[in-house]
């Protein structure tokens, strides 16, 4: 009994200690909520309690295992305690909490996404509402435009009705005018009949009047007549001197304006040269993916913008100068008209007096004065002893209509320039032919005070128009042509550069003839070289039998194109002329590459004039600058082989393909490092691979003789151009012989079809587009020699040579330098180098015009033109957008 009680007491003490331990552990754990640590603590407490349950230990152990399996999952985790290193299974409620936590996070993310979607939807809804508003506004505008269209259609119908009504009225007016014209014609016929009868009556009565006057003169002495005759001598001399001085002043002023025009052209040319250098200096690429492409495009646009500003300023300056020149010429023309009228008025009296004096002179005096060069009076002395028909003439009263350029008419406006009203002080001036406020004919005092109308907002000042009796001038000049000398005799000393107005105008020729006889008009510096070359047919140096055309053909073509001539020449320096020719070459090469068949084919001369018109934009400036270029070509024809090739191409002795051929040859020459004369032999064997050993030796000896046993790029290129001018170029001769072997309808000539078949066999890989362009360009040029649809074989040989050389050009570029170098190594000996070492030759080498350089200019100019075209299209599109709102 005591033992049992002791055991129970011991058990109670142990149980109480386990409880206290469990509670202490719970307090240490701290969290009242279920957790992984708390579950672990519970099972640890059960494990501690099981040994003390006695007979219930096995049951409680099974219960404990079932509870453990129910609470813990199959997932394992490590303990949070840093000091322990065991792993344990995760409770189910921890997994549930983890799932809840992940779902809550997913829900939060979905809520955030939902808010973003709601915001986007709200914005879309706002845009939708805005679009709906815009649609409604556009519908309203459409309705308004429809209404406007309907109104305009009604207005058009009204206008059509007005047009029909006005056409009916016009028909009635025309019928009425025709009837009135018929009546006036009848009246004119009646008046002419009356005039004829009156003239017959006057002629019938004149002989009676003459007899009566002679009878009266015999019995009447009137000394006042002689006094009046002598009193009019100063009047005639004063008016003539006044007119001559004014003509001289007008001519000098015209020369000054032409000098200013030359200065403007020279300034514009200098800018174009700088523009070309700047444009070519840009390193351009065609790859739009290159990051530098758009920067280059910006630079090209900037350069083109500068050019556009300069072109606009040049056009404005030329227009202003042309206006002033036209006024000066009209002034001079009017003065010459007045001088002609004065001479015409005194000539009948002079002839009458001369006949009377001749009748009264002794026979010996007549014979003496009939000798050539004796007894002849100058035109300036005519009228000094003659009678002036206008008895009341005053030499100091200005009746010249040309003074209207210094007159003005004034108008006022009170509604900002919509309507204009004349000033009340305006009066008609018979000299000006219009109403004027002030003019040189009617200024009474030193100053004029005008009163402005009420509410005046604007004042307009206009100049009266100059009125010239054209028919009267032409009639008088035609009658007086013998009085001033024939135009042929006077114009024989004039060169094509003497007059800008044109030698083909007989009226202006007579004006200048009169002025030159008076010694008052200076025509400026005469270009004697141009005059001699334009009037002779002497062949140029270096020409052979095939050089049938002379340089005068250029001037004949120039005169056929225009009547504009040079009064004040503008000499063009050689470097400027060469630069201009280079730019023209770039124009030609770009046409070969990008020109279309729809644009047509033109001769080299037509292309030159088109290039100059595109460069200078004004027609008169185009011909003046072309005249300067042709003059520079003539001046330097014998001093520069490049100029000589270009000149003979223009006049037709060489085909236009020759300039392309020379550029291609220059490309090859520039790639070689020339050191010895023997280098030319290796070079010739590469460029002319069809030559035999003897032909190469002959060509080499020819170069040695030409270059005086010296070598340089310039000398090599000059020699190749020299043999072209002599028509001893090997490829030209070979191609001509091979072309002559093909059948042709006419010997020495070929049609396009015949030439195509020949070239297909000779140069099978040529460009058909280029072949066609070159043929029709040559055909257009030989039309000047009355040849149509055919081209001489000599020209076709040059075209074929260019096509053949172009076909192998890339291979030659890649190999010529290495092959010449290898040949130099093989033939290396004790021979001293013959390369030209002078500074002049070294500088000249850098001036060789090559195909690559010209094509670079062509690409740069084409890029600039494309940039301007795109900018103009964008500006036009922007203007249309602004116009249509």
Assess contact for 681 and 695: CB atoms under 8 A. no
- pLDDT digits 0-9 by tens, 540-569: 333 344 677 888 888 989 999 998 888 888
In a domain, 731, yes or no: yes
C-alpha distances in angstroms, 796 versus 608, 663, 772? 21, 18, 11
In a domain, 302, yes or no: no
- pLDDT digits 0-9 by tens, 653-693: 999 999 999 999 999 999 988 888 888 999 999 999 999 99
Give, in degrees to the nearest 5, the angle at Cα 390 between 384 and 396.
75
Instruction: Over range 408-427, report the average pLDDT.
Output: 83
Same domain as 853, residue 747: yes
**pLDDT higher than 50, residue 483:** no
Assess contact for 331 and 402: CB atoms under 8 A. yes
**pLDDT higher than 60, residue 534:** no
Rounded Cα gap, residues 588 and 566, in angstroms:
27
Lowest mean pLDDT among 427-431, 514-518, 789-793: 514-518
Output 124 or 41, whichever has higher pLDDT. 124
Alpha-carbon 91 to chain mean position:
91
In a domain, 812, yes or no: yes
**Sorting pLDDT into bands at 50, 70 and 90, what band is 536?**
very low
Assess contact for 520 and 247: CB atoms under 8 A. yes
Mean pLDDT of the chain: 77
**pLDDT higher than 70, residue 386:** no
Output 443 or 671, whichever has higher pLDDT. 671
Lowest mean pLDDT among 108-112, 278-282, 693-697, 713-717: 278-282
**Sorting pLDDT into bands at 50, 70 and 90, what band is 712?**
confident
Assess contact for 656 and 781: CB atoms under 8 A. yes
Give, in degrees to the nearest 5, the angle at Cα 876 between 875 and 881.
95
User: DSSP string covering 427-489, please?
Assistant: EEETTTTEEESB-TT---SS----PPPTT--EEEEE-PPP---HHHHHHHHHHTHHHH--HHH
In a domain, 131, yes or no: yes
Query: SS3 for 199-259, per residue?
Result: HHHHHHHHHHHHHHHHHHHHHCCCCHHHHHHHHCHHHHHHHHHHHHHHHHHHHHHHHHHHH
The pLDDT of residue 659:
93
Same domain as 138, residue 54: no
Same domain as 144, residue 59: no
In a domain, 368, yes or no: no
The pLDDT of residue 492:
34
Rounded Cα gap, residues 558 and 554, in angstroms:
6
**Sorting pLDDT into bands at 50, 70 and 90, what band is 366?**
very low
The pLDDT of residue 719:
93
Q: 710 in helix, strand or coil?
A: coil
The pLDDT of residue 2:
46
Query: SS3 for 827-871, per residue?
Result: CCCCCCCCECCCHHHHHHHCCCCCHHHHHHHHHHHHHHHHHHHHH
Instruction: Over range 342-347, report the average pLDDT.
Output: 75
Same domain as 106, residue 78: no
Same domain as 75, residue 98: no
User: DSSP string covering 380-399, please?
Assistant: GGTTSSSPPS-TT--TTS--
Same domain as 723, residue 779: yes
Torsion of CA 678, 679, 685, 688, to 10 degrees: -110
The pLDDT of residue 142:
94
The pLDDT of residue 234:
57
In a domain, 813, yes or no: yes
Full domain range(s) for residue 175: 93-221
In a domain, 693, yes or no: yes
The pLDDT of residue 233:
53
**Residue where a domain terminates, one of 169, 202, 221:** 221
The pLDDT of residue 363:
47
The pLDDT of residue 550:
85
The pLDDT of residue 453:
82
**Residue where a domain terminates, one of 85, 102, 129:** 85
Rounded Cα gap, residues 554 and 533, in angstroms:
10
Rounded Cα gap, residues 641 and 720, in angstroms:
10
Instruction: Over range 96-106, report the average pLDDT.
Output: 86
Same domain as 58, residue 116: no
Same domain as 65, residue 212: no
Same domain as 163, residue 37: no
**pLDDT higher than 60, residue 152:** yes
For the record, the structure tokens of 160 come out as 């059509």
> What single DSSP character describes residue 749?
E
Domain count, the chain: 4
For the record, the structure tokens of 354 come out as 């001369």
- pLDDT digits 0-9 by tens, 306-337: 899 999 999 999 999 999 999 998 988 898 98
**Residue where a domain terminates, one of 166, 199, 221:** 221
In a domain, 283, yes or no: no
Output 388 or 409, whichever has higher pLDDT. 409
Ranges 26-40, 114-128, 864-878, most confident: 114-128
Instruction: Over range 205-219, report the average pLDDT.
Output: 74
Q: What are the backbone angles phi and psi of residue 814, rounded to the nearest 5°?
A: -75, -25
Same domain as 78, residue 203: no
Same domain as 128, residue 215: yes
Same domain as 791, residue 651: yes
The pLDDT of residue 56:
83
pTM attached to this predicted model? 0.56
């Amino acid at each position: 009994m005591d033992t049992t009680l002791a055991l129970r007491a011991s058990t109670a003490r142990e149980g109480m200690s386990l409880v206290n331990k469990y509670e202490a552990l719970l307090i240490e754990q701290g969290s009242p909520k279920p957790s992984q640590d708390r579950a672990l603590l519970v099972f640890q407490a059960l494990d501690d309690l099981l040994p003390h349950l006695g007979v219930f230990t096995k049951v409680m152990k099974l219960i404990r295992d079932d509870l453990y399996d129910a609470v813990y999952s199959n997932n394992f985790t490590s303990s949070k305690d840093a000091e322990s290193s065991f792993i344990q299974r995760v409770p189910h409620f921890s997994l549930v909490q983890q799932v809840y936590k992940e779902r809550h996070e997913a829900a939060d993310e979905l809520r955030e996404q939902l808010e973003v979607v709601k915001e986007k939807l709200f914005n879309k809804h706002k845009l939708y509402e805005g679009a709906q508003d815009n649609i409604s506004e556009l519908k309203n505008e459409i309705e308004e435009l429809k209404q406007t269209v309907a109104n305009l259609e009604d207005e058009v119908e009204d206008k059509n009705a007005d047009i029909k009504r006005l056409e009916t009225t016009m028909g009635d007016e025309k019928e009425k005018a025709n009837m009135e014209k018929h009546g006036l014609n009848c009246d004119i016929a009646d008046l002419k009949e009356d005039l004829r009868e009156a003239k017959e009556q006057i002629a019938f009565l004149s002989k009676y009047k003459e007899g009566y006057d002679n009878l009266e003169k015999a019995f009447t002495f009137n000394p006042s007549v002689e006094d009046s005759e002598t009193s009019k001598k100063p009047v005639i001399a004063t008016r003539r001197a006044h007119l001559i001085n004014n003509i001289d002043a007008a001519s000098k002023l015209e020369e000054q304006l032409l000098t200013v025009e030359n200065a403007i052209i020279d300034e514009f040319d200098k800018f174009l040269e700088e523009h070309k250098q700047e444009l070519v200096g840009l390193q351009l690429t065609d790859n739009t993916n290159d990051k530098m492409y758009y920067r280059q495009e910006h630079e090209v646009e900037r350069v083109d913008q500068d050019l556009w500003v300069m072109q606009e300023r040049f056009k404005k300056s030329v227009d202003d100068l042309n206006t002033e020149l036209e006024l000066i010429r009209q002034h001079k023309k009017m003065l010459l008209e007045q001088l002609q009228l004065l001479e015409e008025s005194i000539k009948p009296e002079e002839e009458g007096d001369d006949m009377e004096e001749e009748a009264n002179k002794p026979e010996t005096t007549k014979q003496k004065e009939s000798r050539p060069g004796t007894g002849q009076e100058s035109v300036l002395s005519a009228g000094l002893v003659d009678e002036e028909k206008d008895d009341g003439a005053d030499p100091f009263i200005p009746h010249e209509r040309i003074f209207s350029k210094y007159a003005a008419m004034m108008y006022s406006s009170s509604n900002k320039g919509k309507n204009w009203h004349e000033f009340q002080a305006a009066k008609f001036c018979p000299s000006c032919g219009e109403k004027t406020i002030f003019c040189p004919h009617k200024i009474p005092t030193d100053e004029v005070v005008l009163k402005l109308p009420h509410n005046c907002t604007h004042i307009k000042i206009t100049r009266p128009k100059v009125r010239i009796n054209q028919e009267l001038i032409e009639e008088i000049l035609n009658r007086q042509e013998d009085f001033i000398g024939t135009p042929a005799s006077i114009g024989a000393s004039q060169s094509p550069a003497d007059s800008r107005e044109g030698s083909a105008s007989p009226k202006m020729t007579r004006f200048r003839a009169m002025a030159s006889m008076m010694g008052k008009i200076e025509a400026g510096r005469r270009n004697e070289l141009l005059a001699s070359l334009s009037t002779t047919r002497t062949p140029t140096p270096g020409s052979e039998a095939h050089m049938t055309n002379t340089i005068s053909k250029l001037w004949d073509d120039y005169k056929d194109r225009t009547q504009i001539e040079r009064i004040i020449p503008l000499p063009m320096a050689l470097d400027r002329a060469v630069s201009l020719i280079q730019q023209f070459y770039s124009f030609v090469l770009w046409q070969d590459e990008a020109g279309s068949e729809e644009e047509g084919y033109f001769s080299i001369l037509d292309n030159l004039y088109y290039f100059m018109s595109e460069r200078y934009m004004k027609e008169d400036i185009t011909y003046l600058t072309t005249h300067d270029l042709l003059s520079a070509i003539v001046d330097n024809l014998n001093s520069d082989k490049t100029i000589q090739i270009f000149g003979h191409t223009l006049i037709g002795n060489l085909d236009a393909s020759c300039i392309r051929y020379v550029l291609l040859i220059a490309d090859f020459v520039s790639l070689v490092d020339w050191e010895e004369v023997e280098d030319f032999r290796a070079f010739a064997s590469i460029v002319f691979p069809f030559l035999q050993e003897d032909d190469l030796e002959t060509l080499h000896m020819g170069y040695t003789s030409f270059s005086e046993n010296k070598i340089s790029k310039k000398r090599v290129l000059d020699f190749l151009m020299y043999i072209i001018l002599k028509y001893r170029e090997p490829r030209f001769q070979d191609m001509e012989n091979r072309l002559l072997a093909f059948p042709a309808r006419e010997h020495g000539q070929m049609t396009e079809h015949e030439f195509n078949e020949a070239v297909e066999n000779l140069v099978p890989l040529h460009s058909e587009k280029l072949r066609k362009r070159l043929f029709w360009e040559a055909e257009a040029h030989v039309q000047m020699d009355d040849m149509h649809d055919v081209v001489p074989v000599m020209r076709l040989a040059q075209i074929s040579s260019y096509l053949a050389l172009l076909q192998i050009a890339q291979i030659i570029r890649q190999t010529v330098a290495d092959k010449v170098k290898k040949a130099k190594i093989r033939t290396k000996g004790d021979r001293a180098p013959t390369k030209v070492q002078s500074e002049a030759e070294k500088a000249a080498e850098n001036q060789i015009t090559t195909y690559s350089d010209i094509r670079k200019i062509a690409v740069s100019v084409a890029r600039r033109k494309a940039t301007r075209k795109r900018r103009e299209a964008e500006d036009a599109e922007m203007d249309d957008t602004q116009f249509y709102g």
